[in-house]
Each structure stands twice: as C-alpha cells, then as structure tokens.
Amino acid sequence: MGRAPGFGTLKARRLRRLLEHELGYAVAGNPGGSHRRLTSPGRPPLVFAYHDNEEIGGWMVRKILVSAGLSVEEAKEVFRRA
C-alpha cells in the first residue's frame, strides 16, 4: 500500500487507546481473540482486528480514523495527539 502523508505507524494497543480516549469508543460485548467490536455514541461501529503489539501502517491508521467518521484533516489532528 502507499504512504499516507501526515500519518505514521502505531502499535495496535496505542491506536485502540486513541480511539477510546479521543473518540469515546469502548469495547462492546465479550471480545474474542484479536477481534474487538468498538462502539461510540454518534460514531459508526468499528471492528478492531489486531493484536496489541502489532504495528499498524500509516495508511491503515488513516483508514481506521476516517472510518470512525473523521475527515482526513480531523484524523491527522487526532493522530498528532497519539
């Protein structure tokens, strides 16, 4: 995949915490394996399917944040706070 200017790699654990603390997501239900269903009031649900220590590339970080309902510019701002 190509590069995503303004986004770098994050450990999956760090990205999940970013989603929880910055965007109000929480794990819904009983998580199984490496899949976590995340929900947040007023935002689309996400399925987070990574092991905590796995590195997630910048293009995927961008895709996940945009899937959470953020514009690319808003996603960059949230990423900067990671």
3 pLDDT higher than 80: no
Q: What is the pTM of this model?
A: 0.89
pLDDT value at position 35? 85
In this predicted model, what pLDDT tens digit does every residue of 56-66 receive, in sequence order?
999 999 999 99
CB 63 within 8 A of CB 3: no
Determine the average pLDDT of the residues in 12-27: 94
d(CA 19, CA 79) in angstroms, rounded, equals 10
d(CA 82, CA 45) in angstroms, rounded, equals 21
